[in-house]
Amino acid sequence: MFKGRDVTGQFVVGLVGIPFGLKGFVKVRPLSGESAHIRCLGSVLLRQGLHEKTYEVEETAGSGAALRMKFRGIDTPEAAKALTGAELVTDRAHAAPLKEGEFYIEDLRGIRVILSTGEAVGEITDVLEGGGGFLVELRLPSGELRLIPFINEFFGEVSPTDGKAVLLEGWILE
């Protein structure tokens, strides 16, 4: 299972949805499916494209996918609507806790991919969410990019700590 994080060392823990009610609340979709770590936040960085602004959290209500947040200075549905699509960004300490066998997406970026024979075949540059699951973007030594479904059929051992992932089926690179 993945949890979202960006390349700056900060995690994207949720996405701001549409306004809720008349007092400036917004709906928030936690990316991990968990919300306890978001409910505890006293402030958050909201990122929309290149624009970033830190907001104090006045109130958090609901749970799971029905999470709602109110930020200081956002007091109307119109002001809340301007935040739609923003990413909630926080540091690793406030990200969803990991369970056994889980790792953050960012921890995969930059690790080398090898075949079961030990031959290096590339480096993971990104992990994308596709319609049927996650896809690993692999940069080959030639510089070409390949997208590979991140499923047990194609990947064996994955160890962000050791900086490697084992690709079980080399033919998928052709």
CATH number at 162 reads 2.30.30.240
Q: Is there a domain that residue 135 lies in?
A: yes
Q: Which of 49, 65, 98 is the last residue of a domain?
A: 98
User: What domain count does the chain have?
Assistant: 2
Task: List the one residue out of 70, 5, 71 whose CA is nearest residue 32.
Answer: 5
Distance (Å, whole) CA 53 – CA 70: 15
**In terms of domains, do 121 and 48 share one?**
no
Sequence-distant (6+) residues with CB within 8 A of 156 are: 116, 166, 167, 168
Domain match, 6 and 32 both? yes
Q: Residues 12, 85: one domain?
A: yes
Q: Single out the residue in 98, 126, 156 at which a domain terminates.
A: 98
**Same domain (yes/no): 18, 84:** yes
**Does the predicted TM-score (pTM) go above 0.85?**
no
Domain identity same for 148 and 113: yes
Give the whole-angstrom CA distance, residue 167 versus residue 56.
Answer: 44
Structure tokens at 99: 């369970």
- Flag whether 163 is in a domain: yes
70 and 11 in a common domain:
yes
- Asked if 87 and 119 sit in the same domain, the reply is no
Identify whether 103 is part of a domain: no
Q: What CATH number did the domain enclosing 45 receive?
A: 2.40.30.60
Residues 114, 167 share a domain:
yes
The last residue of one of the domains, among 47, 63, 98, is 98
Range of the domain at 13: 2-98
Strands 112-115 and 43-48: unpaired
Do residues 123 and 94 both lie within one domain?
no
Provide the residue-wise pLDDT of the chain in tens; the chain has 174 residues.
Answer: 344 434 346 778 889 999 999 999 999 998 777 777 888 889 999 999 889 999 999 999 987 777 999 999 999 999 999 999 999 988 877 777 777 777 777 788 889 999 989 999 999 998 887 777 889 999 999 999 999 999 889 999 988 888 899 999 989 898
